[in-house]
């Protein structure tokens, strides 16, 4: 069955209705509702521990919500899991590649898992490698790749089965500026093809380039608007930036309370020892 969204242009690509996820006593996502339009480039921005990944995991059927529901192109994330999975592509925050296999082999596994027929498979792999600028190294083991190459490969893999909605969980994390820029160009190309993109990020520059930004904190959706709209409403000064709006909404407290004391100390040091409390 084809996605209903194929014939209903006004159908939201993603629709979350009072979506909630609890883990014991911890409320990771607290009754969040929002819509993402088809073809929209949508960012979910939030501090550490805000609930971004939990939200993404629910929308991609990795975990089931404990309350509310969501639909991806009209398909319920609990009742129509198979349909939702056919519709979406996903790039995880940590690499989800088999490093002991070649790029080509990784792509081949994905193609088989998504039912790309044998006749089209070779062409799909060739196209994915070309798209990621990895044609020359297709037969090399992934463990020999740089972080940027792995990220491009993952992005190309996520697009192989032509998903209509793409989820990116902090896709540029850990990349150097060159790698980030290269990857960002690829993401922009996806956007031009009309694929709906929902991306979680810490990076305010990246969030600024999105159509709309949802700011999530402590499991709640606290603001949703265009980047310019967020700055105008929450920036607080004439030359305010999205960062000002973000800090204004989420405060200046460190949010890595789940990290070890050593990590918190390093995090503090990276901020130049600035007093943040």
For other proteins, the binding residues (CB under 8 A) are 23, 26, 28, 48-54, 57, 60-64, 82, 85-86, 88, 90, 92-101, 105-106, 108-110, 112-115, 141, 157, 161, 170, 200, 257-259
The DSSP symbol for 255 reads -
Q: DSSP letter for 5, please.
A: G
User: What single DSSP character describes residue 1?
Assistant: -
Q: Please give the structure tokens belonging to residue 5.
A: 């969204």
Closer CB to other proteins, 103 or 231, in the complex: 103
Please provide the distance, in angstroms rounded to a whole number, between the alpha carbons at the two ends of the chain: 54
Whose Cβ is closer to other proteins: residue 143's or residue 181's?
Answer: 143
Query: What would the two tokens of residue 123 be?
Result: 């062409």
Name 237's bridge partners: none
Which CB atom, from 59 or from 231, has the smaller least distance to other proteins?
Answer: 59
Shortest distance (Å) from residue 3 CB to other proteins: 12
Of the two residues 69 and 81, which places its CB atom closer to other proteins in the complex?
81
Smallest distance from other proteins to CB 188, Å? 23
Question: In angstroms, how far is CA 82 from the centroid of its own chain?
Answer: 20
Detail the DSSP E strand segments found in the chain.
Answer: 14-23, 26-36, 41-45, 67-72, 75-76, 88-91, 165-169, 196-201, 212-217, 220-225
Q: Is 2 helix (H, G, I), strand (E, B) or coil?
A: coil
For the bound state, the minimum distance from the C-beta of residue 131 to other proteins, rounded and expressed in Å, comes to: 17
**Smallest distance, other proteins to C-beta of residue 174, A:** 13
Report in angstroms how near the CB of residue 86 gets to other proteins at its nearest.
5
- Cβ-based nearer residue to other proteins, 2 or 232: 2
């Amino acid at each position: 069955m084809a996605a209903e969204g194929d014939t209903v242009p006004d159908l939201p690509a993603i629709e979350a209705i009072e979506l909630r996820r609890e883990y014991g006593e911890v409320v990771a996502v607290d009754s969040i509702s929002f819509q993402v339009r088809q073809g929209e480039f949508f960012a979910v921005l939030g501090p550490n521990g805000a609930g971004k990944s939990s939200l993404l995991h629910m929308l991609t059927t990795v975990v089931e919500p404990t309350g509310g529901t969501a639909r991806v192109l009209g398909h319920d994330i609990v009742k129509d899991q198979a349909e939702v999975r056919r519709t979406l592509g996903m790039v995880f925050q940590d690499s989800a590649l088999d490093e002991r296999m070649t790029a080509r082999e990784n792509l081949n596994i994905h193609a088989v898992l998504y039912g790309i027929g044998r006749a089209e498979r070779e062409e799909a792999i060739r196209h994915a490698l070309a798209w990621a600028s990895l044609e020359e190294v297709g037969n090399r083991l992934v463990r020999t790749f740089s972080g940027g190459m792995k990220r491009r490969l993952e992005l190309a893999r996520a697009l192989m089965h032509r998903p209509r909605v793409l989820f990116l969980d902090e896709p540029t994390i850990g990349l150097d500026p060159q790698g980030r820029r290269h990857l960002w160009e690829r993401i922009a190309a996806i956007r031009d093809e009309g694929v709906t993109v929902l991306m979680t990020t810490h990076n305010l520059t990246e969030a600024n380039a999105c159509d709309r930004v949802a700011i999530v904190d402590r499991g709640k959706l606290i603001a949703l608007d265009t980047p310019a709209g967020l700055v105008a409403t929450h920036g607080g000064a004439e030359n305010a930036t999205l960062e000002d709006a973000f800090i204004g909404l989420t405060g200046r407290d460190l949010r890595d309370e789940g990290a070890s004391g050593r990590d918190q100390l390093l995090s503090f040091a990276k901020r130049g020892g600035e007093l943040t409390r």
